[in-house]
């Protein structure tokens, strides 16, 4: 899973990220490029149209709306279906069934060993039980009026890399953290 959060776990306000942090956007791209990304419908809708689907990644949108179309992305009715589509879609777009809609070709690269959950808040909370790695950008910012929050990182997680404090060109303080499920071999 990958997300950026401000103080208090804020990740969104009014359907948008309440900050501008180019370094985090570049970090997100480096982290997820070449692997499927799974997102909720509101996260998909929050992406500027010119960036949908996110290039270089199979995009999977989770929604309960059976008739929802996400041009260039796969659509799944549940997180479990999205995880299945992420693997199948990356290997062969033609084999994606179960409610998938696809209008552009997807990468024919081998099935990746991971897919990234990229939001929003509801999907993050549901996906925590499936995740084995969290990439979290901590932003030194108070967000008034935040309405979407990151999931709590509980005791089942270990901080594998606390990151290095940095200051953005925009003046925001931040750091990139990496968490792994406690007891996992990936450290």
CB 82 within 8 A of CB 130: no
Domain boundaries, the chain: 1-35+118-187, 36-113
**Can you give the pTM of this predicted structure?**
0.86
Q: Give, in order, the Cα–Cα distances in Å from 14 to each of 11, 39, 103.
A: 10, 17, 29
Instruction: Assess whether the region 1-35+118-187 and the region 36-113 belong to the same CATH fold.
Output: yes
What are the tens digits of pLDDT across the range 49-67?
Answer: 999 999 999 999 999 999 9
What is the rounded CA–CA span in Å between residue 185 and residue 165?
A: 26
Between the two ends of the chain, the Cα-to-Cα distance in Å is 16
Confidence check: pLDDT of 23 > 70? yes
What is the pLDDT at residue 184? 73
Confidence check: pLDDT of 165 > 90? yes
What is the pLDDT at residue 79? 97
What is the rounded CA–CA span in Å between residue 77 and residue 119?
A: 15
> 36-113 architecture in CATH?
3-Layer(aba) Sandwich (3.40)
Average pLDDT over residues 157-177: 97
What is the rounded CA–CA span in Å between residue 131 and residue 72?
A: 25
Confidence check: pLDDT of 84 > 50? yes
Q: Which one-letter DSSP state was computed for residue 95?
A: G
- Residue 176: its H or E element: strand 173-181
CB 186 within 8 A of CB 133: yes
What is the rounded CA–CA span in Å between residue 117 and residue 131?
A: 9
More confident residue, 89 or 148: 148
CATH number of 1-35+118-187: 3.40.430.10
């Amino acid at each position: 899973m990958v997300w950026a959060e401000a103080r208090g776990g804020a990740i969104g306000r009014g359907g948008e990220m309440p900050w501008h942090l180019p370094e985090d956007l570049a970090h997100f791209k480096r982290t997820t490029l070449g692997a499927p990304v799974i997102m909720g419908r509101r996260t998909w809708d929050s992406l500027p149209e010119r960036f949908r689907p996110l290039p270089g990644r199979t995009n999977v949108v989770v929604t309960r709306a059976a008739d929802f179309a996400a041009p260039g992305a796969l659509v799944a009715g549940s997180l479990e279906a999205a995880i299945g589509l992420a693997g199948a879609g990356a290997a062969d777009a033609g084999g994606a069934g179960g409610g998938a809609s696809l209008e552009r070709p997807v990468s024919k690269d081998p099935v990746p060993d991971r897919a990234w959950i990229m939001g929003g808040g509801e999907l993050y909370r549901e996906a925590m039980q499936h995740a084995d790695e969290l990439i979290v950008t901590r932003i030194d910012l108070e967000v008034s009026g935040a309405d979407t929050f990151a999931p709590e990182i509980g005791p089942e997680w270990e901080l594998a890399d606390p990151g290095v404090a940095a200051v953005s060109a925009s003046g925001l303080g931040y750091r990139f953290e990496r968490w792994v499920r406690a007891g996992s071999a990936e450290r």
